[in-house]
């Protein structure tokens, strides 16, 4: 089968899954109505659901850790969806859970922004509650969809990209060549991080040239292969590498290490994952990693699920919240090797459980270090 025909078949399969999910939302198996749930739901009738893009990226593994910690704290069963990087898989697995009968309290780290309306509509029809993290269309807001789409939540992507660009730009003395590894192309998270990185380079580091970018779908293995390809193409012309998240960065670092170029290249990325922390502590590759942005996957999933839980149990009424608590931006920190020590406490064996304890005490908008800092609408992109 030709590549063109394969892509066409995949699109048809994805369309069929979307249609099936919408149909599932219309049935009575989940006990919902076309307008969603009309009152508080008893705790014993709830199931927590955490949907992640894959289970190979450390960030998504941390999402699962946060969901498990909240499940234990609230004593509510949990189901995990591994989307395997596929919108079709994501949608079909959500469909199956919606057909099980209990009301869902759901956190979804969507594969693609365009998945969000279909997922929200189906959860609403099933009488469940959902918080979406990271990706949605800019013109699709929670307050236009009723109380069942409780919240859209994220850390600012533009700030993340700018932070990383400054770290690489300073490390290179404002001169050199960089390559980029964005995430999924249809991802507002990746798009905003790319926009921030490119804007910072354009405005403040005009001596640095972006040679090429290769979207790597948040997949360390794909980033590793893409890095190998770009090393073969550009060789020692590459002075800096930016990745939209640490999972991809770890794959890229391995490729440069294998090529014997690691100690000649500077890296920056988003996430400050535990594996990245270990490399920075060692000064690995001639202090190859020069900048990071800090947040934690377990914090995101716990915040998302707990916000949806509060709506499901009637403790908050989403339509009565201010807009910045429906479309919410949470704090993100720039980290350098010099400030790394300030963040090690968030990776202890009990860190996820400790965060959940504080979350239940203080609520989803006031729990350090992931406090609400803005929102109320789409993230504003820099002017090109």
Q: What is the pLDDT of residue 75?
A: 98
**Angle, CA 170 vertex, CA 225 and CA 175 arms, to 5°:** 75
Lowest pLDDT segment from 9-23, 134-148, 324-338: 9-23
Phi, psi of 130 (to 5 degrees): -140, 140
Report the pLDDT value the prediction gives residue 14, as an integer from 0 to 100.
40
Q: What is the pLDDT of residue 334?
A: 95
pLDDT level of residue 87 (50, 70, 90 thresholds): very high
Please, which residues bridge with residue 82 across strands? 52
Q: What is the mean pLDDT of residues 314-338?
A: 97
Q: Of all residues in the chain, what percent carry a pLDDT higher than 70?
A: 90
Q: How far apart are CA 247 and CA 220, in angstroms?
A: 5
pLDDT tens-digit readout, 48-73:
999 999 998 889 999 999 999 999 99
Of 26-35, 81-90, 292-301, the range with the lowest mean pLDDT is 26-35
Could you give all domains of the chain from N- to C-terminal order, each with its CATH number?
Answer: 43-155+297-333+348-375 (3.40.50.2300), 158-294 (3.40.50.2300)
Do residues 198 and 211 make contact, with C-beta atoms less than 8 angstroms apart? no
Q: What is the mean pLDDT of the chain?
A: 90
- Average pLDDT over every residue of 198-205: 98
Angle between helices 3-26 and 87-98 (to 10 degrees): 20
Distance CA 150, CA 355 (A): 21
pLDDT at 295 over 90: yes
In three-state form (DSSP H/G/I as H, E/B as E, the rest C), the secondary structure along 202-230 is HHHCCCEEEEEECCCCCCHHHHHHHHHHH
Distance of alpha carbon 11 from alpha carbon 69, whole angstroms: 36
Query: For residue 36, what pLDDT is reported?
Result: 61
Using alpha carbons, list the distances in angstroms from residue 9 to 6, 12, 101: 5, 5, 32
Residue scoring higher pLDDT (97 or 27): 97
């Amino acid at each position: 089968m030709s590549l063109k025909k394969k892509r066409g078949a995949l699109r048809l399969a994805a369309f069929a899954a979307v249609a099936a999910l919408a149909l599932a939302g219309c049935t009575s198996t989940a006990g919902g109505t076309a307008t969603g749930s009309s009152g508080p739901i008893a705790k014993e009738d709830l199931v927590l659901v955490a949907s992640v893009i894959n289970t190979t990226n450390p960030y998504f593994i941390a999402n699962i850790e946060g969901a498990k910690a909240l499940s234990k704290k609230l004593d509510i069963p949990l189901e995990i969806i591994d989307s395997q990087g596929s919108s079709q898989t994501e949608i079909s697995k959500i469909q199956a859970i919606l057909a099980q009968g209990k009301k869902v309290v759901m956190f979804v780290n969507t594969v693609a922004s365009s998945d969000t309306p279909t997922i929200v509509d189906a959860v609403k029809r099933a009488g469940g509650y959902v918080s979406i993290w990271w990706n949605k269309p800019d013109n699709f807001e929670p307050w236009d969809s009723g109380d069942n789409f409780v919240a859209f939540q994220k850390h600012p992507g533009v700030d993340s990209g700018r932070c990383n660009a400054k770290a690489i730009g300073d490390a290179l003395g404002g001169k050199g060549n960089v390559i980029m590894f964005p995430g999924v192309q249809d991802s507002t998270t990746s798009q905003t991080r790319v926009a921030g990185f490119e804007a910072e380079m354009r405005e403040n580091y005009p001596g640095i040239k972006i040679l090429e970018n290769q979207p790597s779908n948040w997949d360390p293995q794909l980033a590793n292969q893409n890095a190998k390809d770009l090393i073969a193409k550009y060789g020692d012309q590459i002075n800096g590498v930016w990745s939209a998240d640490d999972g991809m960065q770890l794959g890229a670092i391995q490729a440069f290490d294998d090529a014997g170029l690691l100690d000649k290249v500077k890296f920056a990325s988003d996430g400050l994952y535990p594996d990245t922390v270990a490399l920075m502590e060692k000064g690995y590759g001639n202090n190859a990693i020069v900048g990071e942005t800090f947040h934690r996957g377990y914090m995101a999933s716990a915040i998302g699920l707990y916000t949806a839980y509060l709506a499901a149990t009637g403790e908050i009424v989403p339509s009565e919240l201010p807009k910045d608590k429906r479309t919410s931006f949470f704090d993100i920190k720039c980290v350098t090797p010099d400030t790394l020590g300030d963040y090690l406490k968030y990776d202890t064996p009990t860190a996820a459980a400790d965060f959940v304890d504080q979350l239940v005490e203080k609520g989803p908008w006031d729990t350090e270090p992931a406090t609400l800092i803005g929102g109320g609408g789409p993230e504003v992109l820099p002017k090109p």
